Structure 1
């Protein structure tokens, strides 16, 4: 999430500049040693642009993500491992009050506190499936440089410490048992610069100049070696250090080889040039080999942060935002029902907000990947539990307007214009805002609110010119009551029954 907490970087910059030595050799190392998987894809943009998203992803529309790990333990929100070392930040103050000074009690000491003692992946997956998820994504490794699997190349992992179990493997078993597609997310690429704050120190007395625990060479494998390439802004999201690029390649290759996910999410652009492109080509070629010659893999990446963005090479991911209109290629929004990691007092999205986002995204040829926040112990807070219950009820009625659909000629109509781009997700819709999807020759019209009296769809007026065929029938999903409707020159007007199947949103199936 490269654009987050820009103000904190201003606090961190002088500390990093003072403390981190320059290693001239950082940019002079040999290129990474890259193994390749045989197949049609090569590690160049032209080859990767031949990619086409598989049907399962285009049909699934809705996935749930577990953005969960040791950073949940302090209950103080996202980017804790970095910001606990940013003097004066809220998370630094939280850490000081709860655990002590980061020179004595650092992130390495948070990790053993993550026990995941109530983590029941099968029970959670049953809830996620009932709520409508067709794919599930496990965190593989966040920027905190802690692997959630039995990592072959990294001692700081969840099997050797913390919960002492294979979190990725357990999620995978549960997802496949429930019939969901399985994915993993990797945020490792940015860790090298992101975690540089751990090598700093306080800016005032009484601890001025006392190095944080990240500067201790004993813990270099967690906090990274001293370097002069800290994360300051999106342009410095990825390092030029070839040694770390090799480490990234080895660890993420281990992750996707061992668990064979159908989806791999990178938190940024494609990392490290040819290194990242090679990993993607290998990921695709392995998928083809493992699925009898059929490509089933999806690679998500973003057009923000450093790194390459090759739109056609995979699926474009938009963080906490949406596209302006129908994108010709499939894409995905990733967002969270709350903070990315559990945070006390954080305001959660309502089910209404999530449903309206989902309908808007699907109408524009996208998918929604939603993080469902977990407590440090692996159980769910009451707000996500309530959301899953309400989402299941809405999907039980309206899923036919979502799954397996494709965009219509326009994505929708109505008075509200949604802001487009990353970190633009707080649009307040009305019942007059309507989104369209199509499937099997029918058109679905989804209201982004609770209509009263009648629904007018101007795009289906005879004079609108969008649909040459006259309307033949109109039904309300979840209702057996016959509807009265009239297709006039200006609009298709649908008279509503006395009661609606859902108070969140209504879906009409229109045949011609």
Structure 2
């Protein structure tokens, strides 16, 4: 455990700022979105209704029967990774195992895995090779910790006619290694009840996660929840750190138990922290639903880019899921976003990659709520976010400005940096732009056209 006491977040993570995630697996097949494997066993939920109508009753056609339908027949990890690298990603995270207890790697300990079933491909291994070829750091997400309680409904039954009392297929003992043997721990999406207290499952989790770490030499491990299972979890993270040659990252969510452990990176699902955090942290979010859904509303490119600027200004990273079809290809919304990100990063990456926070994260009328599931903000051109690199300051507008940009934090008598401003450059614009520093603000005159469709970044040099 000594590696936990001495661990600090490696520089590569603080420099990366932007990663892409493939939150993808058999639950994509029904095209209904997240948590399908659970809710297909919950009468009254739309997933249950869809399942009965499309596939049949879960007593005869269960989740085990969805798995063979996941073929990944158009999955081309090398082509996708080239797009992700062009879009500015510096690390890539593959789904390892979701709450559905299905491993996406060539597992040494679990027969329910993608190398033997479904696509019959080592999905994690293929992603890893593609990421390494593009020079990206490689991570894996694990959602197994909560699986034991999360999947409790698969062994229940309808409490109404015509199949009253007929057990779902999860009650069949021959599939217990997929569906678990949970008979008395219903899932509650809060606090300690997220994880089972069953020690046998703790040992199973450790064995599976160690197999994953040892096979794929990962740089980052993400747990969907707080650190699982106390000392068992800490032992696994210590193993991850001890194996790493370039510095590994373990990221998990705040359990609400007090100050976040400095040996880990705090992850905030679909949200941000308040202000500048002294340690690097991460937002995980998606451009659509977590698993592909036909009906989910996608985020716009402007929303993703302004979220990224806000997060980076506060010492955070964005881990962005790019939604995939069940076959492994990308829907048009994902393709369009990647194209927009590539164009924006080609111009503005210096204000993102390798930067650190300034004295303040930003200014403007729009306040982003802190905490999970608080990611919607309608920014204006007066909302500015700051980053630094060496002696250079970057100021990014979170709305599209016209004519001038006024930055009050850089007024003549500002408390942050009293040095005179020598030069201001708009990234992507060939010539320096005109500016004046008044008692109220740094006022920047904009050129006739802006090089970026979305947030604009100014490079500011002091005398």
Same fold (TM over 0.5): yes
Correspondence 1:147 to 2:97? no
CA RMSD of aligned residues (A): 1.2
Take 2:205 and 2:296, find their aligned partners in 1: how far apart are those partners?
A: 32
Cα deviation, residue 310, structure 1: 4.0
Aligned to 1:456: 406
What's the TM-score once normalised by structure 1's chain length?
0.89
Aligned to 1:298: 249
Cα deviation, residue 56, structure 1: 0.7
Q: Note the alpha carbon deviations across 1:449-497, whole angstroms, 9 max, x for none.
A: 1000100000000122211211111000000133110011110000100
Alpha-carbon contact 1:214-1:223 (below 8 Å) kept: yes
User: Matches of residues 18-417 of structure 1 in structure 2 within 5 Å?
Assistant: 41-42=1-2, 48-235=4-191, 236-287=193-244, 291=245, 296-304=247-255, 310-417=260-367
Aligned to 1:501: 451
Cα deviation, residue 106, structure 1: 0.3
CA distance 1:49–1:461, change in 2 (3 Å)? farther
Cα deviation, residue 319, structure 1: 0.3
Q: Give the secondary-structure state (helix, strand or coil) at the position aligned to 1:333.
A: strand
Correspondence 1:471 to 2:424? no
Q: Note the alpha carbon deviations across 1:19-52, whole angstroms, 9 max, x for none.
A: xxxxxxxxxxxxxxxxxxxxxx44xxxx624321
Take 1:485 and 1:226, find their aligned partners in 2: how far apart are those partners?
A: 66
Correspondence 1:429 to 2:372? no
Q: Note the alpha carbon deviations across 1:280-304, whole angstroms, 9 max, x for none.
A: 01111111xxx2xxx5100001114
Take 1:336 and 1:304, find their aligned partners in 2: how far apart are those partners?
A: 22
Q: 1:444 aligns with which of 394, 397, 413?
A: 394
Cα deviation, residue 135, structure 1: 0.5
Alpha-carbon contact 2:355-2:389 (below 8 Å) kept: yes
Alpha-carbon contact 2:91-2:139 (below 8 Å) kept: yes
After TM superposition, where is structure 1 displaced by more than 6 Å over at least 4 residues in a row? none
Alpha-carbon contact 2:436-2:442 (below 8 Å) kept: yes
Structure 2 residues without counterparts, runs of 5 or longer: none
Q: 2:436 aligns with which of 486, 491, 508?
A: 486
Cα deviation, residue 501, structure 1: 0.3
Cα deviation, residue 503, structure 1: 2.0
Take 1:135 and 1:489, find their aligned partners in 2: how far apart are those partners?
A: 42
What's the TM-score once normalised by structure 2's chain length?
0.98
Take 1:493 and 1:505, find their aligned partners in 2: how far apart are those partners?
A: 17
